[in-house]
Amino acid sequence: MKLMKRYMPAVMLFMITITCSLSSCSDQPSKPKGIDYKARGTHTVELLSEGKFDEVTESFDATMKSVMSPQSLKDAWRNIVEQAGAFKKILRTREEPAGAYKAVIVTTQFAEADIDVRVIYDQDGLIGGLWFAPATETPGHQSIPSYANPQTYTEKDVTVGSGKWKLPGTLTIPSKPGPFPAVVLVHGSGPHDRDETIGPNKPFRDLAWGLASKGIVALRYEKRTKQYQAQMAAVKDITVKEETIDDAVAAVKLLRETKSVDPNRIFVLGHSLGGYLAPRIAQAEPRIYGLIIMAGTTRPLEDVIVDQLEYISSLNGKLGEDDKKKIDEIKRQVENVKNPKLSPSTPASDLPFGVPASYWIDLSGYDPAEVAKNLKQPMLILQGGRDYQVTQADYEGWKKALSSKSDVTFEYYPGFSHLFIEGKGKPAPSDYEKPGHVSVQVIDDIARWVKDQ
């Protein structure tokens, strides 16, 4: 089995491949013409699977044609096949709104992973955006965790932020009279939905239901890179501020204005990338009362990428030549991130996962544990022992920086994964394909800590 195939089902740091035309991200009014977009999306994937890249690019709008040739599309498809295995079949197709346009998500089955192929269509039925990401919708696992009691809470739809980037969210509120402490849930890397759906698992939904069952309000929302994939793809100088921080601050503002919430007891819970950025979120909004960091790395993100690849390469022993070349290429791109000469003009193609230089420049020198050391907020640091993405080394980084602070609590769970789901055996990407729930021990520890503050 190839290394990159095994890597694909894991929680990815970034989308695999993304390209979008500026025209597809505009606010021009839609002019529906009775087009069957789902059928077009399905046909596009069929053409890709048959290697008919010239036919696909014939359906591109003018801007897409200028940025993606048949050869570059072929290269992108080959990259997916290298990582996810051979194309098998189309599983399902659905439509989603994309501003004034139509987004068709074709969930496809490859030999080693399911992939969402997202196609953006303009009002003339031309393709204005096309990219690939790990599938986020897996049917059949909708069980309620044992600790969630739907009779003790209600849920309502809310809007986080305003204007161009407003986001749909869900507020989970205890049924008893408030005001209650509240927690904002901040996603990991990638275009997550409000439940942070990963394969059959929904850790943010588990957290929201579990905490609300214990008298704590929880707010979760669609990540900006999920809700506005096309528009965000057109942002040339993106940083974590636009990706994550601004919306977390807007979520705190919404909670402060919510009648059932105690405005002086609002916490931010960050998972993975969200935990890594939690100290910066607290800097941006000092009124946050406390931070909960779940599997937050203390190492530079580019180092995490390499360590993940090297770990996964060790799972099955021998590497093929293609896998070695892929790892060497990633290492070369990481060296470019660390190069003092990195500048806004450095091509994204020379950097990990095609993420633009602006993103890496913004994070250059950022040390989350050192920033946290200078914060006044109490903190709860949680780490799973079966997490091969954010590891014990990161947990020790938090402890080294913060152990002298009396208002920081550390919890380590030897048998829990990156999603804080209990498991056994050597951790591997396949863990994310197994249905489960965030452990009740984690729910209890978070709820107890929040109420003690």
The mean pLDDT of 399-424, rounded to a whole number, is 96
Contact between 69 and 77 under an 8 Å Cβ cutoff? The reply is no
Last residue of a domain, one of 134, 162, 179: 134
Q: Residue 352: is its pLDDT beyond 90? A: no
The mean pLDDT of 74-93, rounded to a whole number, is 84
Quote the pLDDT of residue 116. Answer: 87
In this predicted structure, which of 112-126, 327-341, 366-380 has the lowest mean pLDDT? 112-126
198 and 61 within one domain: no
Q: Residue 24: is its pLDDT beyond 60? A: no
For residue 289, tell me if it sits in a domain: yes
112 and 44 within one domain: yes
For residue 340, tell me if it sits in a domain: no
pLDDT in tens, 29-81: 344 457 889 999 999 999 999 999 999 999 998 878 876 788 878 877 887 88
On average, the pLDDT of the chain sits at 87
For residue 124, tell me if it sits in a domain: yes
For residue 328, tell me if it sits in a domain: no
Quote the pLDDT of residue 18. Answer: 36
pLDDT in tens, 128-154: 888 787 776 555 446 799 999 999 999
290 and 165 within one domain: yes
For residue 140, tell me if it sits in a domain: no
Quote the pLDDT of residue 30. Answer: 44
Token pair, residue 395, equals 């947990």
Q: Give the separation between CA 171 and CA 217, rounded to whole angstroms.
A: 7
pLDDT in tens, 93-111: 998 766 667 889 999 998 8
DSSP conformational letter for 99: T
Q: In this structure, how many other beta carbons lie within 10 angstroms of the beta carbon of residue 236?
A: 10
Q: How many domains does the chain have?
A: 2
Quote the pLDDT of residue 221. Answer: 98
Quote the pLDDT of residue 68. Answer: 76
Pairing, β 408-413 against β 379-384: parallel
379 and 277 within one domain: yes
For residue 344, tell me if it sits in a domain: no
The mean pLDDT of 249-276, rounded to a whole number, is 98
In this predicted structure, which of 8-12, 120-124, 344-348 has the lowest mean pLDDT? 8-12
pLDDT in tens, 152-179: 999 999 999 999 999 999 999 999 998 9
159 and 263 within one domain: yes
For residue 266, tell me if it sits in a domain: yes
Quote the pLDDT of residue 132. Answer: 81
Q: Give the separation between CA 319 and CA 6, rounded to whole angstroms.
A: 12
Q: Give the separation between CA 162 and CA 57, rounded to whole angstroms.
A: 36
Q: Which of 418, 431, 437, 439 is catalytic?
A: 418
Q: Residue 8: is its pLDDT beyond 50? A: no
Is 66 assigned a catalytic role?
Answer: no
169 and 105 within one domain: no
82 and 159 within one domain: no
For residue 321, tell me if it sits in a domain: no
Is 418 assigned a catalytic role?
Answer: yes
Q: Residue 120: is its pLDDT beyond 60? A: yes
If DSSP codes are grouped into helix, strand and coil, which group holds residue 60? strand
Q: Which pLDDT band holds residue 233 (cuts at 50, 70, 90)? A: confident
Q: Which of 195, 387, 394, 431 is catalytic?
A: 387
pLDDT in tens, 356-392: 999 999 999 999 999 999 999 999 999 999 999 999 9
CATH of the domain at 79: 3.10.450.590
Question: Could you list the residue range(s) of the whole structural domain that residue 224 is in?
Answer: 153-298+367-452
Contact between 340 and 361 under an 8 Å Cβ cutoff? The reply is no
Last residue of a domain, one of 72, 101, 134: 134
Contact between 20 and 225 under an 8 Å Cβ cutoff? The reply is no
289 and 160 within one domain: yes
pLDDT in tens, 283-317: 999 999 999 999 999 999 999 988 988 888 778 77
| Cα of 197 vs its chain's centroid, Å | 9
259 and 158 within one domain: yes
Q: Residue 25: is its pLDDT beyond 80? A: no
Quote the pLDDT of residue 292. Answer: 99
The mean pLDDT of 211-230, rounded to a whole number, is 94
Q: Which of 24, 213, 272, 313 is catalytic?
A: 272
163 and 86 within one domain: no
165 and 110 within one domain: no
**DSSP annotation string for 9-35:** TS--SS-SEEEE-GGGGS-PPP-----
The mean pLDDT of 119-131, rounded to a whole number, is 85
Quote the pLDDT of residue 40. Answer: 92
The mean pLDDT of 437-448, rounded to a whole number, is 98
Indicate the pTM of the whole model: 0.80
CATH of the domain at 232: 3.40.50.1820
276 and 162 within one domain: yes
Quote the pLDDT of residue 29. Answer: 38
Percent of the chain with pLDDT over 70: 89
Contact between 79 and 72 under an 8 Å Cβ cutoff? The reply is no
Q: Residue 20: is its pLDDT beyond 50? A: no
Last residue of a domain, one of 103, 134, 165: 134
Q: What are phi and psi of 295, to 5 degrees?
A: 55, 50
